[in-house]
Structure 1
């Protein structure tokens, strides 16, 4: 899930998704996955699929 701009407004989808996942998982680091495809110029808020952010999570241990 990525944050988006819709009709000029910022929509924090990734943040909302992380908030929901944190109810069930212990969230850890964030990673960036890079594709070999070069990034295109233009609006930086529009995805070009040259990279993606990954959130690492795990099931809670007993007592967490």
Structure 2
């Protein structure tokens, strides 16, 4: 376990903190790639389900009409 250094100077002095220590706790949020991947997978599955439903409806409509000779 590493120990974090603490500035012992007056916090109001300009040399009390370095640029690295200011941003140590306030890091930028990282992108959640697993969430994005899950959303893409859900969209892909929804599109495929719609396509299958359309094909199924076309087959049922074709099977319901008697062949004309």
Please report the TM-score for the alignment, with normalisation by the length of structure 1. 0.29
**TM-score between both structures, scaled by the size of structure 2:** 0.27
* Structure number with higher relative contact order (C-alpha < 8 Å, ≥ 6 residues apart): 1
Query: Quick check: which has more Rg, 1 or 2?
Result: 2
In terms of fraction of residues, the more helix-rich structure is: 2
Structure with the higher fraction of residues in strand conformation:
1
